[in-house]
Amino acid sequence: MRVLGGWIALTPELPAKLLFGRHVWDCAQHADLWGRRLPELRALGQQSEPAGPAVVRLLDLIETAEAAGRTVERITAIYRVLKPHLATVYERHLAVANPVYEPPTRRILARAIVEERRHAAAGAIVLERLIAADRTLADRADTWERRVLDALAAARGVTGDVETPLVTPPGTPPDPVEVAGDLVPAPPPFDPAAALGELAAPLDAHRRALERGDTEALRTTLAPEAGPDVASAYAGLPGPFARTEVVGCARIGRQRVVKLWLDNPRGRVVLQERWLPSAAGWRIVAVEVTRAEPGP
């Protein structure tokens, strides 16, 4: 619950962000139900501690996936390993929980099993969509899954005494309709042609100038009111660029703010330009390098 909550802000992809957002409350309710059950079993309510230092190391490892671009590792750890493991542990507990003495525990287990399996299935769908867009992510997911599973094995599961296998598939797959309820339909991908409209043609010429590193051509697209810092910003770009792409376009009245990726082997520069229409055509009045990432 806490880790998913913390990751929401750090995760750029909307489907993953909203997946985490959907599940934090379910996880909180599971924890709350267990916490309320504890005093009924002569333990302190709403208090918990890890089963051992290896469990702490496992969770520390999972939390290391906080750097930008590690969404695949986040989903893998929680949805391929931790949640299926919890469901596995709960199912074994339910199988031996006495139906006469332990219905309160059995009810919590039954609910948590259904929800953890459903979460895992929803996470698998989001992960598969991310991987489908970039197959190199599949290797990263597999590698991270092995690493987290190793840490889980070293801890002997979350309770420190779980017999192998630590993760078993569900006896009955979750209802696809229920799983779909955990997924927010992703908005359509950004369509530059539709977003740019009449700015598309001038921007196309501008992109080609950026790719060539043609500062003279770039200069002709600047509005008269653009300050010297704008020309300097273009002169300072580490061009030429092998590839440019329009990835965003926002409107402020008649003006447009266009976001561009500029890629070359040295890395990626993300540029945000403000364009305004004039009698001479669309012109750039402001520019800002919002991000620079080193190449692979």
Partner 1 sequence: MERPIAYDKLAREDRFVRMRTRDVGTLKIEQGLPPFPDLATRESMRDRVHGILVGELQAMEGAGRTVYDFPEAPWEFTVDMARQVWDESRHVETYLGLLDHLGGRVGEFPETTLLWRCACAEDAAARVAGVNRGLEGLACDVFNQLIHIAKKIDDPVLERSVDYVLADEITHVRMGSRWLNELTRGDPERRRRAIEFQDSIDDRFNLGGQRRDGHHDDVPISIAKDARRLAGFTEEEIQRLVKSTQRSQVY
Q: Footprint of partner 1 on this chain (CB under 8 A)?
A: 1-14, 17-18, 20-22, 24-29, 32, 35, 46, 63, 66, 68, 184-185, 187-188, 190-191, 194-195, 247-255, 257, 259, 261, 270, 272, 274, 290
Question: Is the Cβ of residue 194 or residue 289 nearer to partner 1 in the bound state?
Answer: 194
Q: How far is CA 239 from the centre of its chain?
A: 30
Question: Is the Cβ of residue 15 or residue 174 nearer to partner 1 in the bound state?
Answer: 15
- Rounded to a whole number of angstroms, the minimum distance from the CB of residue 166 to partner 1 is 24
Question: Is the Cβ of residue 142 or residue 225 nearer to partner 1 in the bound state?
Answer: 225
Residue 62's identity, in one-letter code, is I
C-alpha–C-alpha distance, residues 50 and 14, integer Å: 32
- Rounded to a whole number of angstroms, the minimum distance from the CB of residue 91 to partner 1 is 25
- Rounded to a whole number of angstroms, the minimum distance from the CB of residue 154 to partner 1 is 21
Residue 209's identity, in one-letter code, is A
- From its phi and psi, is residue 185 left (phi > 0), alpha (psi between -120 and 50) or beta? beta
Question: Is the Cβ of residue 168 or residue 272 nearer to partner 1 in the bound state?
Answer: 272
Q: Helices 53-63 and 136-155, interaxial angle, to 10°?
A: 160
Element housing 276 (H / E): strand 267-278
- Rounded to a whole number of angstroms, the minimum distance from the CB of residue 44 to partner 1 is 12
8 A C-beta contact, residue 210 and residue 218: yes
Question: Is the Cβ of residue 9 or residue 100 nearer to partner 1 in the bound state?
Answer: 9
Residues in contact with 61: Cβ distance below 8 Å, sequence separation at least 6, in sequence order = 77, 147, 148, 151
- Rounded to a whole number of angstroms, the minimum distance from the CB of residue 36 to partner 1 is 10
Q: Helices 103-133 and 136-155, interaxial angle, to 10°?
A: 150
